[in-house]
Amino acid sequence: MDDRWTAAAALVDRSRRALYDYVRRQERAVSREDAAKATGISRALAAFHLDKLVEVGLLRARYEPPPGRRRTRGRTPKVYEPAPDGLDASDGLVITIPERRYRLLAEILADAVAQEPDDAGRAARERALQRGRDLGRHLREQETPEVSGVLAELGFAPQPEPDGKVLLHNCPFHALATRHTALVCGLNHALLTGLLEGLAADQVRADLVPRPGACCVTLRPAAHPATGSH
């Protein structure tokens, strides 16, 4: 079994998948104790599953002292965080969970270059906005979709917050966003703005609020004052 399928198979176990999902949604490295408490299993079982996820390349681990404490003698806790770029397999393919959407971005950019080679950046933003609108309208015609559900299907890993915001913990365009941040984040913002319009989700807006290791867009209630937009 190659690396991709070994990694996928590792997530068949329900407890292991719950641990992976928990670690992936955090904005900091997670200890075994935190992971065990969050998923309702023992520390020993959490440690076993977390180390298995490291073994197959879906998480990475290191040792660091708890926040606010100096390093002292004795064992330093082991902490875990998601592997940033998925798992490279020997045949050049990559497994990422949630999946990436590079084909979508490639189609938008290719259409923009073909349409307006002298101003491809502006054309790409317009294409991304329209692509989002078209997708939202199509989904709305099929049913009355819930915004977070649509975002989850697209791989954004949404997480509603108590204040009404929705944080997007995964960037479907991660590898390109790290190399061409302004361009890709601008296209992502346009795509999600169009998606909300197409879904007729007037109560929600997309704000460009870059966060390390996550999507550059945050969803907020439309009445919420705009902060942090770029």
The CATH number linked to 182 is: 3.30.1380
Measured between alpha carbons, how far is 35 from 24 in angstroms, rounded to an integer?
11
* Structural domain count of the chain: 2
> Are 177 and 155 found together in one domain?
yes
* b/e 137-148 (16+ beta carbons within 10 angstroms → b): bebeeeeeeebb
Same domain for 84 and 117? Answer: no
Query: Within this chain, do residues 71 and 162 fall inside the same structural domain, yes or no?
Result: no
Tell me what the mean pLDDT of segment 193-206 comes to: 92
Looking at per-residue pLDDT, the higher value among 119 and 223 belongs to 119
CB neighbours of residue 107 within 10 Å: 13
Q: How far apart are CA 190 and CA 196, in angstroms?
A: 10
Q: What pLDDT score was predicted for residue 187? A: 93
Radius of gyration of the chain (CA): 20
Domain stop point among 95, 113, 140: 95
Residue 127 maps to a domain: yes
Q: Is the pLDDT of residue 25 over 70?
A: yes
The pTM of this model reads 0.61
- 107 and 90 part of one domain: no
Distance CA 29, CA 23 (A): 7
The residue with greater pLDDT, 90 or 154, is 154
State which of 66, 95, 124 marks the end of a domain: 95
The yes-or-no verdict on residue 7 having pLDDT over 60 is no
User: Is there a domain that residue 230 lies in?
Assistant: no
Indicate whether 201 and 117 sit together in one domain. Answer: yes
Which of 95, 130, 163 lies at the terminal end of a domain, its last residue? 95
For the stretch 49-77, pLDDT in tens is: 899 888 878 888 999 876 655 555 557 88
Q: Of the ranges 101-105, 117-121, 188-192, which is most confident?
A: 188-192
Residue range 219-230: average pLDDT?
A: 68
96-104: average pLDDT: 67
Residue 218 has pLDDT above 70, yes or no: yes
Residue 229 falls within a domain, yes or no? no
Output the CA–CA distances (angstroms, integers) from residue 187 to 40, 44, 96, 146, 216, in the order listed. 39, 44, 21, 22, 11
* Residue 155 and residue 70 share a domain: no
Q: Who wins on pLDDT, 169 or 67? A: 169
Average pLDDT over residues 153-182: 86
Same domain, 79 and 121: no
Same domain, 41 and 60: yes
Whether residue 137 contacts residue 130, with contact meaning beta carbons closer than 8 Å, is answered with no
**Average pLDDT for the chain:** 81
- With pLDDT > 90 as the criterion, what percentage of the chain qualifies? 30
Mean pLDDT for the stretch of residues 13-19: 84
130 in a structural domain:
yes
**pLDDT surpassing 70 at residue 113:** yes
Task: State residue 153's pLDDT score.
Answer: 83
Structure confidence at residue 197 (pLDDT): 94
197 found inside a domain:
yes
Residue 181's domain comprises 102-221
